[in-house]
Amino acid sequence: MKTDSLFYELFQSSPGVLLELMGMPPAQGGNYSFVSQEVKQTRFQIDGVLLPHDRFADLPIYFVEVQGYRDRRKGENFYYGFFSEILLYLNDYRPQHDWQGVAIFTERRFDPGLPAHFREYASGGRLQRIYLDETPEDWEGHSLEVSAIQLIGVNEAIAPEKGRALIERARVSVTDAKALRDILELISTIFVYKFGNLNHKEIESMLGLSELKQTKVYQEAKLEGILEVVPVLLETGLTVEQIATRLGLDLATVNEVAQRPSTPVKKPKTTTPRQPGKRTRGRKSSDKTD
């Protein structure tokens, strides 16, 4: 599993998590969107761009790069590629906003070192480097998401204990079933990355998730996740009866979701028998009759 995709998906759904990791107020996340954008001249994608909404002209753009390994192909050239992409983006889009680069390393040893050409970027505030294996272990002072990210840099020997403690904190503090499911999946995914030699069942056993998944609150969260698929399936043209069969749900539950606002309802098709000697509606006059 690529580490950067894990981060980018999290930052896309919750931009405030990135801001909190940078030591900024996470509430400002509502002013940003985390996107990938193409640099037209070279047709490559910059995957991590935290872009402020147009009405916030005073907020900077953050260009984010995540490194979970030492890139042997680039060697010492990581920063050359990183800043080249940023400068090409600025030349292409000419944004009104100021900018800053954010390099996140899961471990400090993956940082190849800043070349002399870019040292003024670090001293001048253009570059912020974050090392997850050196972040303060103030677990209670951060959101559950940032605390989960910090697990990536924790020593493997104590990671299971930290993970179980975070899961217990989530179980006690999170009342929304879907939110609980999401944070548990995030923690589990991070451990799959961290312990690549273990399968999902072994990860669940390590974190005590096997027992937790049998609890009522987790089952409710699981059901809520399944129900989120119902509107999507309705859009594809399936009927509530077909959806209930496919998802293994009772018809009343699917009907309840289908009746929620903004949920399209697809009724079963009914066929009206044709009466002998009459053309069907909408048939051209040039068509042959029966």
pLDDT at 58: 94
pLDDT at 286: 41
Cα–Cα distance measured from residue 33 to residue 226, given in angstroms and rounded to the nearest whole number: 27
Q: Does 193 reside within a domain? A: yes
* pLDDT, tens digit, 9 for 90 and up, residues 264-284: 554 444 444 444 444 444 444
pLDDT at 290: 42
Based on the domain organization, do 217 and 235 belong to the same domain? no
Cα–Cα distance measured from residue 190 to residue 80, given in angstroms and rounded to the nearest whole number: 29
**What residues make up the domain containing 94?**
1-134
pLDDT at 41: 63
pLDDT at 200: 77
Q: How far is CA 265 from CA 159, 166, 223, 225, 261, in A?
A: 47, 40, 20, 19, 10
Based on the domain organization, do 78 and 164 belong to the same domain? no
SS3 content of the chain, % helix, strand, coil (to 5): 50, 10, 35
Q: Which residue has the higher pLDDT, 126 or 276?
A: 126
Among 245, 31, 14, smallest CA distance to 254 is for 245
Say which CATH number the domain at 97 has.
3.40.1350
Based on the domain organization, do 29 and 120 belong to the same domain? yes
Domain edge (last residue) among 134, 161, 179: 134
Band of the pLDDT at 19, cuts 50, 70, 90? very high
Based on the domain organization, do 120 and 31 belong to the same domain? yes
Based on the domain organization, do 63 and 8 belong to the same domain? yes
pLDDT of residue 172 exceeding 70, the answer is: yes
Band of the pLDDT at 11, cuts 50, 70, 90? very high
Domain edge (last residue) among 134, 165, 183: 134
Q: Does 283 reside within a domain? A: no
Based on the domain organization, do 93 and 190 belong to the same domain? no
Among 190, 221, 191, smallest CA distance to 205 is for 191
Total domains in the chain come to 3
Cα–Cα distance measured from residue 46 to residue 8, given in angstroms and rounded to the nearest whole number: 11
Based on the domain organization, do 18 and 41 belong to the same domain? yes
User: Pairing state of beta strands 127-131 and 99-105?
Assistant: parallel
Q: Does 112 reside within a domain? A: yes
pLDDT at 76: 61
Q: Does 287 reside within a domain? A: no
As beta bridge partners, residue 130 has: 104
pLDDT of residue 165 exceeding 50, the answer is: yes
Task: Summarize the confidence of residues 154-176 as an average pLDDT.
Answer: 90
Distance of alpha carbon 77 from the chain centroid: 28
Q: Does 34 reside within a domain? A: yes
**Tally of CB atoms within 10 A around 23:** 8
Q: Which residue has the higher pLDDT, 81 or 140?
A: 81
Based on the domain organization, do 40 and 103 belong to the same domain? yes
pLDDT at 3: 62
Q: Does 286 reside within a domain? A: no
* pLDDT, tens digit, 9 for 90 and up, residues 75-107: 567 898 899 999 999 999 999 999 999 999 999
**Tally of CB atoms within 10 A around 22:** 16
* pLDDT, tens digit, 9 for 90 and up, residues 37-68: 887 766 677 879 999 998 999 999 999 999 88
Based on the domain organization, do 176 and 250 belong to the same domain? no
Q: Does 284 reside within a domain? A: no
Q: Does 141 reside within a domain? A: no
Report residue 98 as tokens: 């100021």
pLDDT above 70: percentage of residues in the chain:
77
Based on the domain organization, do 245 and 211 belong to the same domain? no
Based on the domain organization, do 237 and 252 belong to the same domain? yes
* pLDDT, tens digit, 9 for 90 and up, residues 225-262: 666 777 877 887 888 888 888 777 778 878 877 887 65
H/E stretch holding 32 reads strand 32-39
Q: Which residue has the higher pLDDT, 73 or 184?
A: 184
pLDDT of residue 158 exceeding 80, the answer is: yes
Based on the domain organization, do 4 and 126 belong to the same domain? yes
